[in-house]
Amino acid sequence: MWTCKNLWKKLAPLARSSSTLCRQNARGVVLNNERRLPLVPQAHMSSGTPGSGGDNNLYYLLVGATCVGGGFYAYRTIKGDKERYQERINEIASRPNKVVPEQPITEAPGEQAAETPQAPEPVEEPAPEESVGTPDADPLVESEPSVEPSPIEDTEELPAPVVESEPTPVAESLPAETAEPQTTTESAAEPATVAPAEVPAPTPVEFPSHAPYLLIGGGTASFAAARSIRARDPGARVLIITDEPDLPYMRPPLSKELWFSDDPSVVDTLRFKQWNGKERSIYFQPPSFYVSPQDLEKVENGGVAVLTGKKVVHMDVRGNKVTLSDNTEISYDKCLIATGGVPRNLQVIERAGEEVTKRTTLFRKVEDFKALDKVSRDTKSITIIGGGFLGSELACALGRRSADSDLEVIQMFPEKGNMGKVLPEYLSNWTTAKVKSEGVTVITEALVKAVSYKDGKVEIKLKDGRVVKTDHVVAAVGLEPSVELAKSAGLEVDSDFGGFRVNAELQARSNIWVAGDAACFYDIRLGRRRVEHHDHAVVSGRLAGENMTGANKPYWHQSMFWSDLGPDVGYEAIGIVDSSLPTVGVFAKATAKDTPKAATEKSGTGIRSESETEGTASSPVASSTPEPPPVPEQKDNYGKGVIFYLRDKVVVGIILWNVFNRMPVARKIIKDGEEHADLNEVAKLFNIHED
């Protein structure tokens, strides 16, 4: 490089002088001939020559020599650095060979003997501390795997410079210490190294590290999926993970039948009498139905295991594994997300402080039922905020209980009547009167402005100035889908309806499905929807389980939902039931068999959706008995009837008011999607005029 610089200093003046001479000659030719020479534009450099070819050749020679010299210098520099790097790697790789063997054996040269005091640093326990503080991460990773004096280390030393992750050698060193007694014996001087190796040992005993079918959530959708998977794959091994302490159970009885039980121990047994008089438990299956999680991999014919009290906090879609709240990991082949939702709360209650929060119930789980049952026996007044399904059911249930005690039950909501967002106004008003007859004080058009705790009472201030004082508050204002896993899993959340956005097969990814309240699915008849009802959890969970075993079926089923205001008034609904839509109601006089109690006696089950989802949408047949003309709106009583919800003159939703076991007919009407000139004729298909 130095020679090139000297050569350039000698030849540069010559190049510049030749360039000056060429310019002077060109100027003279122009003056003598009184015209400008035709010049071709060329690129000039400060030290270049636009003239003769000899000067150009010299210039090119100088530039070429400079490039060659620079390249040679870079080559020698890189080669030298590589040799010094390799020498450094070899030196560090030889250090553990001096530490691990016994003292009489000396393999290292004399210059490494001076580094003997540093030898204990990469051994076992101090290794992680040095790996964090030392900037040379690669050499330190190289020293870890070579601690084990086994023949396997010869194969691991080759890719050592490539390994950059520090946790990998640590994970490999722990099994090595437990597998090789020599390593444990030689490190007996440091007993602390034995304890860390035994701490994670109980982890694989509690639950399997891998599950072919992993179901996140322990509700109705997960249980329906597990049952469907086992039906199509009898040897399947299914693991359900739930953050609740209970096995899978049905939620509807928590706000219905359990409150009407005469058994004082119902809170402990969670067994209740259905409207038909038969007794059953809220749990889908007894504990003997399930296998223990630690035995799931050992059971010959597979089974269903439930891991209770564990919450999935992270989902690695690429790695096909989930992380629990205790940092343990479980891998899977196929996964179902059925996380359901959490009850919404009013912001004014959240901001009210701890005293108000302690006296507020968000009703959803078994523990919420037990807590509210205790509150209803220990306090004098309970106020329910919300006029939807849950709020109205709890109001009727607590109102019945207040008849035998001094309990005051208040229900308030912003609508003009109970279930005002679902029922047409005339039927909503009739329902409100029914709730009042159960002993409930109903406050309509109530917008909560502030909530506070004063003088031992929860004080609720409304926007119109009214004030309600109560001992306890139940917030029944809707459900928020649980989509916490969407961020870590990279799954899409629907911006309009909430929930995980899935396709018609309920797939969010190639091996991930979503069912139940958390699924925002595409309805082939009614468009994209998200449904929060028991029957939808059953149907979507069952379909997801079938598709997880290769069925590839689209979601076409119109799920239904039902609500009971005690044993005498109940309704079943399907499709889009929104009071803002045009409605047509056809009613008839009710008989003794037109009650939820009579319906369950006939079907033999208290969970009506279980029988209805098995029904087929066959062609309905109208009653042959003579029928009186329909009465759309009766003044005092709506015994039984059918309410049609229309959109663009097409029926998109149907409510069967005290009409039971006719859901397949309603499902077929919505599925056909036809316009009907006279809905009174369509109502005849439900045989509402039969005695």
DSSP 49-62: -SS-HHHHHHHHHH
Same domain, 667 and 571: yes
Ranges of H-type helices in 354-388? 354-358, 366-378
Last residue of a domain, one of 520, 549, 578: 549
Q: Is residue 401 part of a domain?
A: yes
3-state secondary structure of 414: coil
pLDDT 10s digits, 509-554:
999 999 999 999 988 778 899 999 999 999 999 999 999 999 999 9
Claim to verify: residue 533 and residue 654 sit in the same structural domain: no
Are 272 and 279 in contact by the 8 Å Cβ rule? The answer is: yes
Count Cα atoms within 13 angstroms, Cβ side, for 201: 11
Decide: helix, strand or coil at residue 20: helix
| CB 233, CB 349: distance < 8 Å | no
Rounded to whole angstroms, how far apart are CA atoms 609 and 557?
A: 13
Q: Do residues 624 and 591 share a domain?
A: yes
Give the CATH number, domain containing residue 492.
3.50.50.60
Torsion of the alpha carbons at 166, 169, 175 and 181, rounded to the nearest 10:
-130
Between CA 484 and CA 518 the distance in angstroms is 11
Q: What is the DSSP letter of 535?
A: H
Backbone Cα Rg of the chain: 40
Q: What's the confidence (pLDDT) of residue 74?
A: 82
pLDDT at 403: 82
Those residues whose C-beta lies under 8 Å from the C-beta of residue 98, and which sit 6 or more positions away, are: 106, 107, 108, 112, 116, 119
Residue 66 within any structural domain of the chain = no
Domain co-membership, 526 together with 606: no
**Secondary structure class of 643 (helix, strand, coil):** strand
Last residue of a domain, one of 549, 582, 600: 549
**494 plus 474 within the same structural domain:** no
Same domain, 398 and 507: no
317 in the same domain as 378: no
Residue 106 lies in a domain: no
**Same domain? 312 vs 390:** no
**Is position 1 within any domain?**
no
Cβ–Cβ contacts within 10 Å for residue 69, how many? 16
Q: Is 664 inside any structural domain?
A: yes
Residue 639 forms part of a structural domain = yes
DSSP assignment of 408-419 equals EEEEE-SSSSTT
Task: Please state whether beta strands 570-575 and 650-657 pair in parallel, antiparallel, or not at all (unpaired).
Answer: antiparallel
- Compute CA distances 655 → 177, 433, 583, 673, whole Å: 68, 19, 10, 16
Say what the pLDDT of residue 95 is. Answer: 57
d(CA 322, CA 314): 6
Residue type (1 letter), 254: L
- Structural domain of residue 325, as residue ranges? 210-248+284-340+482-549
Q: What is the rounded distance in angstroms from the CA atom of residue 463 to the CA atom of residue 346?
A: 14
| Owner of token pair 């979503």 | 514
Split into its structural domains, the chain has a count of 3
Instruction: Establish if 668 belongs to a structural domain.
Output: yes
Rounded Cα–Cα distance for residues 89 and 623 (Å): 91
Residue 128 belongs to a domain: no
As given in the structure block, the two tokens for residue 498 are: 């909430």
**What span, in angstroms and rounded, lies between the C-alpha atoms of 489 and 502?**
14
Which amino acid, 78? I
| Beta-carbon contacts of residue 614 (< 8 Å; ≥ 6 apart) | none
What is the Cα–Cα distance from 583 to 645, expressed in whole angstroms? Answer: 5
Residues of the chain with pLDDT under 70: 1-55, 91-206, 275-276, 566-567, 592-637, 691
pTM for the model stands at: 0.66
Handedness of CA 398, 403, 406, 409 (dihedral sign): positive
Pair (391, 321) in one structural domain: no
In the prediction, which pLDDT does 201 show?
Answer: 44
**Beta-strand pair 329-337/210-216:** parallel
Question: In terms of domains, do 528 and 461 share one?
Answer: no
Q: Are residues 464 and 440 in the same domain?
A: yes
Question: What is the rounded distance in angstroms from the CA atom of residue 402 to the CA atom of residue 638?
Answer: 26
**What's the one-letter identity of residue 504?**
A
CATH number at residue 644: 3.30.390.30
User: What kind and span of H or E run contains 683?
Assistant: helix 679-683
Say whether both 675 and 574 belong to one domain: yes
- Which positions ≥6 away from 544 have C-beta within 8 Å? 221, 225, 228, 336, 338, 506, 513, 514, 515
- In the listed set 451, 479, 507, which residue is the last one of a domain according to the structure? 479
